[in-house]
């Protein structure tokens, strides 16, 4: 198993830590955070782990083969760039960067140094998404025609990123995994109701070749937690409710016959961490690697541009 360090041990970073210590053979060489209170808590719960408030300790240690970056988004680019330049594998939480051009800089840096850059696009490691992808690739649904993803709740309203970079990234990565081709165009409408300058509700529409339309709705202004994916092909439909009591994947024919499929209950974060370790050890490209990062970040960039342009349809490639 690979020797790694964890940078950032706040709420989500601590989820990483709990996951990592539960994986047999995982070697955590460092836990790094700027807040002494967080480090004290780590030492209390996991006294065998080495803690530090200096990311340089990880960068300078040749035993560290890779790092997981789960710090606030504004620090992702600078930290990831330093570790890629140091030829260490990097798993960086979403959003990978604030700007598309920064993501492209990291991609070029990873290529230049022949090292791994992987995004924490968690939903691409969810067993339900992987099962759905497999069924689509086998032609169970037929030719895809429409995809609808809804992610909403009155939960934590963030003041560092918009609902697009907090929630929509999940669903964009799901679309990327299921469709695996570039959209022709992207359009978005939304609103700024709770905070100036940060979108808190948006609907994203993407058009693809093959007469396929995909829509994503993300919303902080909603009283019920909602995490749903519906995929319609010309033969059959699929439905998955990730927030429901019954999280089985459903396949629905057009005569309303339903087939329920069991889903592997391995936590997606465990699957993601294991994949990162495997990529380090085998020197293979992650499934949420360079191509995935570029796709998601470019669509996200077009989405924000479209919002600022009153929902204008923007093309993925300028030659269209």
* 255 and 162 both lie in a single domain: yes
Together in a domain, 72 and 163: no
**How high is the pLDDT of residue 155?**
66
**pLDDT tens for each residue of 84-115:** 999 999 999 999 999 999 999 999 999 999 99
Residue 211: per-residue pLDDT: 96
Asked whether residue 81 falls in the same domain as residue 71, the answer is yes
Domain boundary among the residues 122, 154, 184 is at 122
Is residue 56 situated within a structural domain?
A: yes
Q: Which residue has the higher pLDDT, 317 or 311?
A: 311
Q: What is the pLDDT of residue 243?
A: 85
Global pTM value: 0.94
Q: Per the domain annotation, does 112 fall within a domain? A: yes
Question: What is the percent of the chain with per-residue pLDDT over 90, rounded to a whole number?
Answer: 82
Check pLDDT > 80 for residue 129.
Answer: yes
Query: Does residue 264 share a domain with residue 144?
Result: yes
- Of 122, 157, 181, the residue that ends a domain is 122
- What is the per-residue pLDDT for 1? 62
Please check whether residue 240 lies inside any domain of the structure: yes
| Domain-located, residue 88 | yes
pLDDT for residue 320 is more than 50: no
Question: pLDDT grade, residue 16 (50/70/90)?
Answer: very high
Looking at residue 216, which CATH number applies to its domain? 3.30.360.10
Same domain for 109 and 128, yes or no, is no
Q: What is the model's pLDDT at position 22?
A: 94
pLDDT digits (tens, 9 = 90+) for 162-219: 899 989 999 999 999 999 899 999 999 999 888 888 899 999 999 999 999 999 999 9
**19 within a domain of the structure (yes/no):** yes
Residues 304 and 162 in one domain: yes
Question: Chain-centre distance of CA 193, in angstroms?
Answer: 25
Residue 198: the pLDDT is 87
Q: Tell me: do 56 and 200 sit in the same domain.
A: no
Give the range of the structural domain holding residue 53, as residue numbers without chain letter.
3-122
Residue-averaged pLDDT of the chain? 93
> Is residue 20 situated within a structural domain?
yes
Widest pairwise Cα distance in the chain: 62
Distance, CA of 76 to CA of 225 (rounded, Å): 28
Same domain, 118 and 132: no
- Which residues make Cβ contacts (< 8 Å) with residue 97, sequence separation at least 6? 73, 76, 77, 80, 103, 106, 297
Rounded to 5 degrees, what angle do the CA atoms 3, 22, 283 make?
35
Q: Report pLDDT digits (tens) over 221-255.
A: 999 899 999 999 999 999 999 987 766 799 999 98
For the segment 144-175, what is each residue's pLDDT rounded down to a tens digit? 999 999 999 876 777 778 899 989 999 999 99
**Pair 306, 160 in one domain:** yes
- Residue 145: burial class (beta carbons within 10 Å; 0-12, 13-18, 19+): middle
pLDDT of residue 261: 86
- Position 281 in a domain: no
Q: Looking at the structure, tell me whether residues 237 and 145 fall in a common domain.
A: yes
Task: Tell me, yes or no, whether 160 and 209 share the same domain.
Answer: yes
Q: In this structure, are 71 and 102 located in the same domain?
A: yes
Check residue 25 and give its pLDDT. 85
What per-residue confidence (pLDDT) applies to 255?
87
Q: Report the distance separating Cα 275 and Cα 178, nearest Å.
A: 19
- pLDDT tens per residue across span 24-35: 989 999 999 999
Show which of 103, 122, 141 is a domain's final residue. 122
Average pLDDT over residues 101-130: 97
Number of structural domains in the chain: 2
Residue 59 lies in a domain: yes
**CATH code of residue 112:** 3.40.50.720
């Amino acid at each position: 198993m690979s020797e790694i360090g964890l940078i950032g041990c706040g709420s989500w970073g601590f989820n990483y830590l709990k996951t990592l210590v539960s994986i047999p053979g995982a070697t955590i060489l460092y836990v790094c955070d700027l807040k002494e209170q967080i480090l004290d808590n780590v030492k209390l719960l996991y006294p065998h782990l080495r803690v530090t408030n200096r990311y340089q300790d990880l960068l300078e240690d040749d035993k560290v083969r890779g790092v997981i970056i789960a710090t606030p988004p504004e620090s992702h680019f600078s930290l990831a760039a330093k570790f890629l330049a140091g030829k260490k594998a990097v798993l960086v939480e979403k959003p990978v960067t604030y700007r598309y051009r920064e993501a492209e800089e990291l991609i070029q840096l990873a290529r230049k140094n022949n090292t791994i850059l992987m995004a924490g696009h968690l939903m691409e490691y969810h067993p339900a998404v992987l099962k759905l992808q497999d069924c689509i690739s086998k032609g169970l649904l037929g030719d895809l025609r429409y995809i609808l993803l809804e992610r909403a709740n009155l939960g934590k309203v963030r003041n560092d990123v918009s609902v697009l970079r907090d929630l929509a990234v999940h669903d964009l990565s799901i679309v990327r995994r299921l469709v695996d081709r570039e959209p022709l165009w992207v359009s978005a409408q939304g609103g700024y109701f709770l905070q100036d300058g940060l979108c808190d509700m948006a609907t994203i529409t993407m058009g693809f070749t093959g007469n396929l339309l995909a829509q994503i709705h993300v919303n902080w202004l909603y009283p019920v937690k909602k995490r749903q994916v519906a995929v319609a092909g010309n033969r059959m439909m699929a439905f998955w409710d990730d927030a429901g009591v019954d999280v089985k994947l459903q396949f629905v024919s057009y005569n309303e016959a339903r087939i329920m499929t069991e889903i592997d209950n391995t936590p997606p974060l465990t699957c993601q961490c294991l994949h990162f370790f495997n990529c380090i050890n085998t020197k293979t490209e992650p499934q949420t690697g360079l191509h995935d990062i570029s796709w998601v970040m470019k669509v996200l960039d077009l989405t924000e541009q479209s919002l600022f342009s009153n929902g204008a349809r923007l093309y993925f490639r300028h030659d269209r």
